């Protein structure tokens, strides 16, 4: 359930929890009880964890232009992509080869 900002004409701004389906509905002022309209407010990005904020920014950037990643290897790194396709000396002498 999100926290919305509302403004009362007599008492001023206040925050109230509301279900998303009722986000357009008026909320009662906690002081005077009158129906108040919801005011437009910025999201609480500054209170978000740094790792989550950077992950969301990365995700947002990659929507339109995904980053092309090319795998580069160092000479003689020994991984399966850089290794020659010929079997090693030890495996040539196994039974069944």
**What predicted TM-score, i.e. pTM, was given to this entire model?**
0.42
29 vs 73 pLDDT, higher one: 29
Distances (CA, A) of 4 to 17, 33, 50, 76: 6, 17, 23, 58
The arithmetic mean of pLDDT across residues 90-97, rounded, is 61
**Whole-number average pLDDT of the chain:** 75
CA 79 – CA 73 distance, rounded (Å): 9
10 Cβ contact list (under 8 Å, min separation 6): 29, 32, 34
Instruction: List, in sequence order, every beta strand (DSSP E) within 18-80.
Output: 27-28, 35-38
Q: Is the distance from CB of 35 to CB of 26 less than 8 angstroms?
A: yes
The arithmetic mean of pLDDT across residues 74-80, rounded, is 66
Per-residue tokens: 27: 């909320």
H or E stretch at 53: helix 50-61
Listed by start position, the domains of the chain span 3-38
* Position 97 pLDDT exceeds 60: no
């Amino acid at each position: 359930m999100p926290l919305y900002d509302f403004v009362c004409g007599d008492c001023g701004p206040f925050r109230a929890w509301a279900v998303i389906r009722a986000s357009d509905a008026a909320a009662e002022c906690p002081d005077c009880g009158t129906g108040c309209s919801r005011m437009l407010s910025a999201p609480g990005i500054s209170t978000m964890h740094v790792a989550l904020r950077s992950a969301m920014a990365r995700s947002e950037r990659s929507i339109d232009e995904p980053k092309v990643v090319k795998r580069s290897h160092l000479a003689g790194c020994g991984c399966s992509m850089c290794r020659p396709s010929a079997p090693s000396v030890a495996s040539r002498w196994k039974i069944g080869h």
